[in-house]
């Protein structure tokens, strides 16, 4: 998931560079468009006005199609892209989910959407992670939250000069889900914790630095890249993943932007290596430098409960299988949906839009560790299992 309104305000540098590429869906009404050409199954998320944010219908369509393509020998690889000129996918349709959670708390809903959305989204994430064919994400534009979930777990993530990546869930009273508990602890050093606790937005160079982006290709070449993939003469003597890599590499270049993370890597590893949010904050306060102060300002805006949940999630996820992480994250999703901070975060960002969430508790020091423990408790027969 993600904070869609935050994404909507993100700068779209050179965002119109691919307005005439095959990823636009002029006149199409389907929320996901599918096509098979030359052994390439193409999925194009098609809600450009909503920055291609995922709803339950899209998740179901993609789950069904990927299951079909996994069993279809004519499909050698899958490409996923977003329609429009601003976003690959800005995340999940969090407002609808939060409203259902609130209605459930008030006895006006059975909470089916809250249960089904996360269960089926995480099932889609696991399907992508286990997909045995090349899975290529063309990440042109905003990619946040759920957009990471439908890209990060495949074999190739092509980024462009327009790519803007973040996991901003702690800013809406949630946690970095869709496999964040698997991906983030496997980022270099403590960079994954840093991204989760600050909602830091990064560009192409840093997506490659943390291991999200696998290749950089200029946005204007994405149409030609797709055509080249569709024209591959699949050789049974070569692995499809190697053939795909060769094609992508023939279009790849060095990203134009400089890293923001690398110059601060030593500080990130020093301060975000703690297992307690309180200690991270204390060390940053003691530093007093520009990076520390900027980082503290970001952390102070997040839900204190979410900060603690996210840190524990990442620490536990470091030693878990992908499937076990998804089971853990489903438990967390249901607990967060029942919490004060999730609806409050969505209210402040997407409903009233006052940008002034009233977190409860309001300070990290006041978040009871027993409360956090409860977020991780098994759900019995309602647990997500694979």
Looking at the annotation, which residues are catalytic?
92, 146, 169, 177
Look up residue 186 and give its two tokens.
């496997």
Among the listed residues 153, 146, 283, the one whose alpha carbon sits nearest the alpha carbon of residue 214: 153
Q: Are 271 and 220 in contact (CB under 8 A)?
A: no
Q: Are 142 and 10 in contact (CB under 8 A)?
A: yes
At how many degrees (to 10) do helices 56-70 and 112-130 cross? 30
DSSP string, 205-219: HHHHHHTS-SEE--G
Q: Are 81 and 23 in contact (CB under 8 A)?
A: yes
Integer Rg of the chain from CA? 20
Q: Are 198 and 272 in contact (CB under 8 A)?
A: no
What burial class does residue 252 get, using C-beta atoms within 10 Å of its C-beta: 0-12 exposed, 13-18 middle, 19+ buried? middle
Among the listed residues 241, 226, 237, the one whose alpha carbon sits nearest the alpha carbon of residue 76: 241
**Would you tell me how many other CB atoms lie within 10 Å of the CB of residue 308?**
23
Q: Are 210 and 157 in contact (CB under 8 A)?
A: no
Where b means 16+ CB within 10 Å and e means fewer, 180-209 reads bbbbbbebebbbbbbbbbbbbbbbbbbbbb
Q: Which residues 6+ apart lie within 8 Å of 172 measured at CB?
A: 1, 3, 94, 303, 342, 345, 346, 349
Tokens 């970095």 — which residue? Answer: 176
First to last CA, the chain: 21
d(CA 346, CA 353): 9
């Amino acid at each position: 998931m993600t904070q869609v309104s935050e994404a909507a305000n993100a700068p779209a540098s050179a965002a119109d560079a691919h307005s005439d590429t095959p990823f636009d869906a002029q006149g199409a009404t389907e929320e996901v468009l599918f096509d098979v050409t030359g052994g390439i199954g193409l999925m194009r998320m098609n809600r450009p006005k909503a920055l291609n944010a995922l709803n339950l219908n899209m998740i179901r369509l993609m789950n069904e199609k990927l299951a079909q393509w996994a069993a279809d020998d004519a499909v050698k690889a899958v490409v996923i892209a977003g329609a429009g000129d601003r976003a690959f996918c800005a995340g999940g349709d969090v407002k609808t989910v939060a409203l259902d959670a609130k209605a459930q708390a008030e006895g006006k809903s059975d909470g089916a959407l809250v249960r089904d959305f996360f269960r089926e989204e995480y099932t889609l994430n696991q399907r992508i992670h286990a997909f045995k064919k090349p899975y290529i994400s063309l990440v042109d534009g905003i990619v946040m939250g759920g957009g990471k979930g439908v890209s990060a777990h495949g074999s190739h993530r092509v980024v462009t000069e327009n790519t803007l990546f973040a996991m901003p869930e702690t800013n809406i009273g949630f946690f970095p889900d869709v496999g964040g508990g698997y991906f983030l602890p496997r980022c270099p050093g403590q960079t994954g914790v840093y991204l989760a606790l600050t909602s830091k937005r990064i560009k192409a160079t840093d997506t490659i630095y943390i291991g999200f982006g696998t290749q950089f290709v200029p946005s204007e070449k994405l149409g030609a890249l797709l055509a080249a993939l569709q024209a591959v003469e699949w050789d049974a003597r070569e692995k499809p993943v190697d053939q795909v890599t060769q094609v992508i590499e023939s279009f790849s270049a060095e990203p134009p932007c400089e890293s923001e993370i690398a110059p601060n890597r030593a500080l990130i590893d020093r301060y975000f290596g703690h297992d307690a949010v309180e200690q991270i904050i204390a060390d940053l306060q003691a530093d007093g430098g520009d990076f520390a102060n900027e980082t503290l300002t970001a952390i102070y805006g997040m839900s204190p409960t979410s900060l603690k949940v996210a840190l524990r999630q990442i620490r536990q996820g470091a030693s878990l299988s992908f499937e076990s992480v998804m089971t853990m994250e489903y438990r967390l999703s249901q607990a967060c949906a029942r919490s004060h901070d999730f609806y409050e975060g969505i209210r402040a960002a997407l409903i009233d839009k006052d940008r002034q969430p009233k977190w409860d508790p309001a300070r990290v020091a006041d978040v009871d560790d027993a409360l956090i423990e409860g977020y991780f408790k098994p759900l019995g027969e309602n647990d997500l299992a694979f």
